[in-house]
Structure 1
């Protein structure tokens, strides 16, 4: 292998890597060494992975994984695989900053539930993936580690808040990645980096443990991958009931890792588009997604335009109230301290101040609106098996820009209005996966959301898998730096 070649180990998808490790075609040490070398080479240009652990320690852990296999012991399908955890999730003994100077030196004593499950499945935690401060905003930058840039153009944004995870996947710095999603944080960066990001049904992956376990019903953790099979396998590890999260779902998590092949002929798909012109879109986004509808038709699906019977502006106001309420609840104590408040980014302060102005009646009415939105989508699912929607309203933009002030000729009135397209599945608690649908003339990727009915996670994965087998965008168009290496 020449000095500039890519080690074939890192090009393997996670499922194939797992099978190769367990077949002893390669050792866990060889896998770890290949990934560490690849990370040293490509991570500095994009800043996707942070808080990396010492290489000698990681190699010793890989050696122990090999000794376990020598004894006929495997801890699970992720045995010996490198994994970096999103820097919002607690990792025992490893710095977890939340992208905030307030927590720059925080070292938790426990793992988040999903982290513990990945560790128990045999993964070796190598570090963290970078995030925006507290995960607020779909642009991955913070004052602790700096900005994560796009895998396809390092001058552009990675998306967020799972931006570090998506870029690491696209550049083959990780075989599979975890993330979390409140406002498209698994879906948006997946679209911007030509990988898959799946927001599971609310409660599918226990979120926490958190101080509050009943009201928080927007954010969820979930999987990302370069294949739908990898996404499903990681979901099978993350999912499942935990008594510390009383609203978590008790379905058998192993079902998600089963064969995803399905005949899609006759499936009815509803195309939401830009909600009849309600959402502003950058030129080329809508047309690219619309051209991808032909792929679903080629699978034998029937696709037609449809709209929910609901005011989208009312949905946005419900979103603002829910988000203000929850962010103020989690960060209000820091805001109350003037010294700590000064270290919060302006968008975090704006959310908290909005929460402080809310009345109980406003919060309740926002929840009523959210409930009516769920029922409006349920009515659509009486006619359609799945709904389709663009993943983003813009293509990746300049990484020096915090957020776009104008989209499609319309001024954005908040730091996150440009991502309004993702709030529908979040507020309804529905499973939604972003699948790659191609590139614009400038070579920038885009994704499309496949949204399923409540708790139809496996069905969403099956349609995404069929689309992947037809289009193969991830393997057809890897980042240029990998093509030329």
Structure 2
């Protein structure tokens, strides 16, 4: 899209209008969005067309639409944080990540749905309602960036901004079969994100259908802003690529990351096999098995609650406006100082285990989630013959929030029922480029039967007279183009 905009084969206004039409057509059963403002989007697109007409191209994203999770501030656009308490809140300034996308010439298309205050693995709230999986309405698109993942997977958005404190870009990407990066904590500022705590563990991350697009967004987003003190890395003109042929890759699943379904393990093993001849080493390692004794979901809960409950308690007087889940959080007991220190000591131990691992390997290949997208409102996950608490969905993701390691979620296969399965690619802290380069190499070796590939990972933008949109629509698209391609999804 960016190349065709640059050569003026395509106009940003038409591209934005086509996406808005797809939202009108496809969104009702999915409910991915918290806010859509068509006129504001089209006005911005016209401005970007004017710049392109006059030879100004700010970046590869100039004139390209993007969406934003409703936990990130957008100036002049309501940012409700999934809560009725903030349903009239319109910020004056953009979050740093949003500002950088806009400075790059991207066009804000819509705000995407979140669980209230972004604290759960399913996207549902009392203000915007529940987001459904694009392929199966009985299942979740994940959380807390579930609206973002559903919008991108169903082609209503090309790419967008999510955030991740335990699973929240990688899990939704796994559920819907798209790509996402949880960066090193030192790389992308969370300035303008809410909640701001626990600041050390929140990460703003790009989400798209291809690693190429995720990496292009990372180029725009990374670098310190002088506000977020956890981001220490300087902004580079362009992040370097890495020679993947020299990489040493280890892969593991159980017991390090808890119970994992046989179908997820099968896809993980296929991913490891796919790169055997393209990297220096691929080894099934047991080196991380000791992580099984360090449940990151429990560790994170102790530390999160200590910071989140005091913040959320400010709204105790408006408890009638809160969802049941957040109201219950207000009554949680904060762990003692000793328990919190024990949790911090456990993080130090996880870091030492991972440091030893990354002394031998450059890449860790592991699961994202133990199953495919779960059904809505389940208190337990069924993993083959075993039932585990729903929080176990985060066992393979939350450790890397606690330690700050970069991690890519990449679709690589499907379950027997056709739902997507992603693998997780982890590298050393501050080595996001290594994770992205390996993810791109692995993506190029992905089976053609992968669900996300069948959707048409690259946008197919063709003249309006030549095609219809999706499988069921005969709706006329705006003026010059249509967006569609082969799609396996119902809407």
In the other structure, the counterpart of 2:417 is: 442
Counterpart-to-counterpart distance in 2, 1:330 and 1:203: 24
In the other structure, the counterpart of 1:419 is: 394
1:234 and 2:238 correspond: no
SS at match of 2:275: helix
In the other structure, the counterpart of 1:306 is: 286
Contact 2:197–2:308, Cα closer than 8 Å, also in 1 = no
Per-residue CA shift, 1:257-281, capped at 9, x if unaligned?
x5x4x543353222221225x6123
In the other structure, the counterpart of 1:201 is: 184
Shift of 1:314: 3.5
In the other structure, the counterpart of 1:331 is: 312
Contact 2:79–2:91, Cα closer than 8 Å, also in 1 = yes
Gaps of 5+ in 2: 457-469, 472-485
Query: Which is further off, 211-220 or 228-237?
Result: 211-220
Per-residue CA shift, 1:354-378, capped at 9, x if unaligned?
3x43222322221121122111100
SS at match of 2:265: helix
SS at match of 2:360: coil
In the other structure, the counterpart of 1:52 is: 36
Counterpart-to-counterpart distance in 2, 1:474 and 1:282: 19
SS at match of 1:159: coil
Residues 60-459 of structure 1: matches in 2 within 5 Å? 60-209=43-192, 216-256=199-239, 260=241, 262-275=242-255, 279-300=258-279, 301-308=281-288, 310-316=290-296, 317-335=298-316, 337=317, 340-354=318-332, 356-399=333-376, 401-404=377-380, 406-413=382-389, 415-459=390-434
Over the aligned positions, Cα root-mean-square deviation in angstroms equals 2.4
Counterpart-to-counterpart distance in 2, 1:360 and 1:90: 33
Contact 2:36–2:110, Cα closer than 8 Å, also in 1 = yes
Contact 1:203–1:220, Cα closer than 8 Å, also in 2 = no
Question: What TM-score results when the alignment is normalised by the length of structure 1?
Answer: 0.88
Query: Which is further off, 68-77 or 109-118?
Result: 68-77
Counterpart-to-counterpart distance in 2, 1:407 and 1:349: 29
Question: What TM-score results when the alignment is normalised by the length of structure 2?
Answer: 0.87
Change (3 A) 1:403 1:80: farther
Counterpart-to-counterpart distance in 1, 2:196 and 2:139: 37
Counterpart-to-counterpart distance in 2, 1:416 and 1:200: 22
In the other structure, the counterpart of 1:465 is: 440
In the other structure, the counterpart of 1:483 is: 487
SS at match of 1:381: helix
Query: Which is further off, 58-67 or 308-317?
Result: 308-317
Counterpart-to-counterpart distance in 1, 2:68 and 2:288: 36
Counterpart-to-counterpart distance in 2, 1:56 and 1:212: 29
Counterpart-to-counterpart distance in 2, 1:214 and 1:143: 22
Change (3 A) 1:351 1:408: farther
Contact 2:133–2:140, Cα closer than 8 Å, also in 1 = yes
Aligned length in residues? 458
Shift of 1:312: 3.3
Per-residue CA shift, 1:150-185, capped at 9, x if unaligned?
122233210111111111111211121111111111
Change (3 A) 1:313 1:325: farther
Gaps of 5+ in 1: 1-16
Query: Which is further off, 42-51 or 232-241?
Result: 42-51
Contact 1:315–1:373, Cα closer than 8 Å, also in 2 = no
